[in-house]
Amino acid sequence: MALREHFDALIFGSGFGGKLLAWHLARSGRRTAVVERRWIGGSCPNIACLPSKNEIWSARVAHLAQHAAQFGTMITGPVTTDMAKVRQRKRDMVEREIALHLQNYKSSGAELIMGSGRFVAPKTLEVRLNDGGTRELAGDRVFLNIGTHAAIPSIPGLEAARPLTHIEALELDYLPSHLVVLGGGYVGLELAQAYRRFGSRVTVLEHGPQLMSREDPDIVDEVQRILSDEGIGFLIAATTLNVSGRSGQQVSLTLRTPSGERLIEGSDILVAAGRVPNTAGIGLEQSGVDLDGHGYIRVNERLETTAPNVWAIGECAGSPQFTHVSIDDFRIIRDNLAGGNRSTRHRLVPYCMFTDPPLARVGLS
């Protein structure tokens, strides 16, 4: 059995808010450890914000090249996209980001521990190390920064079809002949436009009465018009009844629509239907940390959990799912640890959908 190691601060997950807190606490003299299963720096630099913007930019370049004559630039011959090179450009950026993160861990003095953590007692983690062996870590203060993952709806045949999520979509080295996007939210529309610009046929299926459920209908209509003009197909108020086939080969989706039942066939399925917190299977029942009815960590407006000296940061706490919100969570906790009285109350959250043109919003409509 591993000997218990003691830290002033123990951070579970290396996402944006957590890593900023780790570096801050370590630089201020606290013995600090960060436990990360896979993604150094969390999802943003590895599989989400930055990689998606990288490939969206490549798609924009392809789009501009296809329409170069509108700008007085003549390109002779067809414009084609090498998806393997698009992917490699993205991977190169991710490698640079990881190197920068490792440098920050080294300079700050925070210890990065790569492995899968599980609570075995309050404020105590057992970590199964990626390189083998285990460590038991206890912290005077513990910060949960464990994030979320893509939800796969309970649709007959969908899981067996091995659908893409945003992670796999950003790793494709081929161009889908017909990409079917399940979900008309921000992620689904961003990637739908990108793959349409790369050259795929794209169809977006939305279960609800409109795309982008939180937006005003006039905004939704304009975004849908712009994307339709680029050749993206839409089926709104379409319920997927079942799926057959295998994504990457041939897939068929049976839908119930306002005009009746219909069949959609494609080569690949991308699921962009919301997020699920990473709170299952990590021993939270041993920690004293309560969850809400949706599986998110229950916190107060100071991001304190139901367990003493345990906080939660970012998406796992039910905070709006944006990197800049996780950064603000860090600022709240940092300042309160120093005697402040900051909270999430009345927090105004700006956000942006990175279609082209982008859609940005803050405050009331």
What Å distances lie between residue 163 and 52, 74, 190, 197, 276, CA to CA? 18, 39, 17, 21, 16
Question: Residue 2: which pLDDT band, with cuts at 50, 70 and 90?
Answer: confident
| Judgement on whether residues 126 and 166 belong to the same structural domain of the protein | no
The pLDDT tens digits of the residues spanning 155-208 come to 999 999 999 999 999 999 999 999 999 999 999 999 999 999 999 999 999 999
Task: Residue 95: give its domain's CATH number.
Answer: 3.50.50.60
Phi/psi region, residue 117 (left: phi>0; alpha: psi -120 to 50; beta: rest), is: beta
Distant-in-sequence, close-in-space partners of 304: CB < 8 Å, separation ≥ 6: 310, 311
Could you identify the residue written with the tokens 């989400």? 48
Question: Residue 217: which pLDDT band, with cuts at 50, 70 and 90?
Answer: very high
The pLDDT tens digits of the residues spanning 39-48 come to 999 999 999 9
Last residue of a domain, one of 273, 307, 328: 273
Kindly state the average pLDDT of the residues 139-146: 99
| Judgement on whether residues 86 and 224 belong to the same structural domain of the protein | no
Longest dimension (CA), the chain: 71
Q: CA-CA distance, 326 to 361, in Å (whole number)? A: 18
Q: Which domain, by its residues, includes 192? A: 159-273
Residue 310 has pLDDT above 90, yes or no: yes
Q: Is residue 359 part of a domain?
A: no
At residue 173, what is the residue type? D
Phi/psi region, residue 38 (left: phi>0; alpha: psi -120 to 50; beta: rest), is: alpha
| Judgement on whether residues 308 and 234 belong to the same structural domain of the protein | no
Q: CA-CA distance, 198 to 61, in Å (whole number)? A: 9
The pLDDT of residue 74 is 94
pTM of the prediction? 0.96
The pLDDT tens digits of the residues spanning 79-106 come to 999 999 999 999 999 999 999 999 999 9
Number of domains observed in the structure of the chain: 2
| Judgement on whether residues 292 and 185 belong to the same structural domain of the protein | no
Q: Is residue 206 part of a domain?
A: yes
| Judgement on whether residues 214 and 251 belong to the same structural domain of the protein | yes
| Judgement on whether residues 143 and 167 belong to the same structural domain of the protein | no
The pLDDT of residue 1 is 64
Q: Is residue 268 part of a domain?
A: yes
Last residue of a domain, one of 216, 240, 273: 273
Could you identify the residue written with the tokens 């969570």? 329
Q: Is residue 365 part of a domain?
A: no
| Judgement on whether residues 85 and 166 belong to the same structural domain of the protein | no
Q: Is residue 363 part of a domain?
A: no
| Judgement on whether residues 187 and 175 belong to the same structural domain of the protein | yes
Q: Is residue 196 part of a domain?
A: yes
Mean pLDDT of the chain: 98
Q: Is residue 364 part of a domain?
A: no
| Judgement on whether residues 59 and 206 belong to the same structural domain of the protein | no
The pLDDT of residue 58 is 99
Question: Residue 268: which pLDDT band, with cuts at 50, 70 and 90?
Answer: very high
Distant-in-sequence, close-in-space partners of 345: CB < 8 Å, separation ≥ 6: 301
Indicate the SS3 state at residue 20.
helix
Question: Residue 363: which pLDDT band, with cuts at 50, 70 and 90?
Answer: confident
| Judgement on whether residues 236 and 325 belong to the same structural domain of the protein | no
Last residue of a domain, one of 248, 273, 298: 273
Give the DSSP letter string of 207-271.
SSSSSSTTS-HHHHHHHHHHHHHTT-EEEES-EEEEEEEETTTEEEEEEEETTEEEEEEESEEEE
Residue 131 has pLDDT above 70, yes or no: yes
Indicate the SS3 state at residue 118.
strand
The pLDDT tens digits of the residues spanning 221-257 come to 999 999 999 999 999 999 999 999 999 999 999 999 9
| Judgement on whether residues 219 and 127 belong to the same structural domain of the protein | no
| Judgement on whether residues 92 and 123 belong to the same structural domain of the protein | yes
Indicate the SS3 state at residue 354.
coil
Q: Is residue 248 part of a domain?
A: yes
